[in-house]
């Protein structure tokens, strides 16, 4: 993996990190709850003890969660920066969402519908907007998900690192044929991209 393809990894790391902490806490809290419910049940512990002001305990249960939450923020922020900082030299493609398809407009004004073709080995910047209602451009393989809103230009980017076909979806319910608003991202070798870009069809 070279430097700029790390975005996908960073997003996954943030996801797994937060999921991992959540799972550990869920298991810990559930097990303690069950243990305490049995250990301190009424028949065995009829008079509850009234404990107040444990300075050490209160400090620990404040400091540890604070560190955990801040670390989750840090990991999430790092992946967010990766998603927002587009490397220099990216190929810019305009993306227009409409009921019910995606239009892609390339640097030479060529346009395609529901088929995004890009060359391998390039960062790709997608300038996204909508012609009507709200849509959301979703390319799960590259962790791209960005709202398409009329009158607003948003953007996303990804590094086209491997030749292949990847799903393009609309992730915002946009009307009766929302489910048909699918497309394909085709990553091809540079010469094939050039030939396609210059062809008349
Ligand atoms: Cu849509």
Residues in the chain, overall count? 201
What's the CA-to-centroid distance between 198 and ligand 1, angstroms? 29
What's the CA-to-centroid distance between 53 and ligand 1, angstroms? 56
What's the CA-to-centroid distance between 152 and ligand 1, angstroms? 15
For each of the chain's 201 residues, which pLDDT tens digit applies? 444 558 899 999 999 999 999 999 999 999 999 999 999 999 998 888 888 889 999 999 999 999 999 999 999 999 999 999 999 999 999 999 999 999 999 999 999 999 999 999 999 999 999 999 999 999 999 999 999 999 999 999 999 999 999 999 999 999 999 999 999 999 999 999 999 999 976
Query: Which long-range contacts does 106-114 make (Cβ < 8 Å, 24+ apart)?
Result: 106/197, 108/197, 108/198, 110/197, 113/183, 114/168, 114/182, 114/183, 114/184
Do 160 and 93 contact (CB within 8 A), yes or no? no
What's the CA-to-centroid distance between 157 and ligand 1, angstroms? 19
What's the CA-to-centroid distance between 149 and ligand 1, angstroms? 10
Task: Provide CB contacts within 8 A for 60, sequence distance 6+.
Answer: none
Do 144 and 127 contact (CB within 8 A), yes or no? no
pTM for this one?
0.84
**Strands 111-113 and 164-170, sheet pairing:** unpaired
């Amino acid at each position: 993996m070279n430097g700029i393809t790390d975005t996908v990894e960073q997003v996954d790391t943030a996801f797994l990190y937060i999921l991992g902490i959540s799972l550990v806490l869920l298991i810990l809290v559930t097990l303690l709850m069950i243990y305490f419910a049995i250990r301190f049940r009424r028949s065995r512990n009829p008079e509850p003890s009234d404990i107040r002001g444990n300075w050490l305990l209160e400090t620990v249960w404040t400091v540890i969660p604070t560190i955990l939450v801040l670390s989750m923020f840090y990991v999430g922020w790092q992946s967010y920066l990766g998603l927002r900082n587009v490397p220099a030299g990216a190929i810019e493609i305009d993306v227009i969402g409409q009921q019910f398809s995606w239009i892609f407009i390339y640097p030479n004004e060529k346009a395609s519908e529901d088929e995004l073709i890009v060359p391998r080995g390039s960062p790709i910047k997608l300038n996204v907007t909508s012609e009507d209602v709200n849509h959301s451009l979703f390319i799960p393989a590259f962790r791209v998900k960005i709202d398409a809103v009329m009158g607003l230009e948003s953007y996303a980017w990804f590094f086209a690192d491997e030749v292949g076909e990847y799903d393009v979806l609309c992730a915002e319910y946009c009307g009766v044929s929302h489910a048909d608003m699918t497309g394909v991202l085709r990553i091809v070798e540079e010469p094939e991209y050039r030939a396609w870009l210059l062809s008349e069809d």
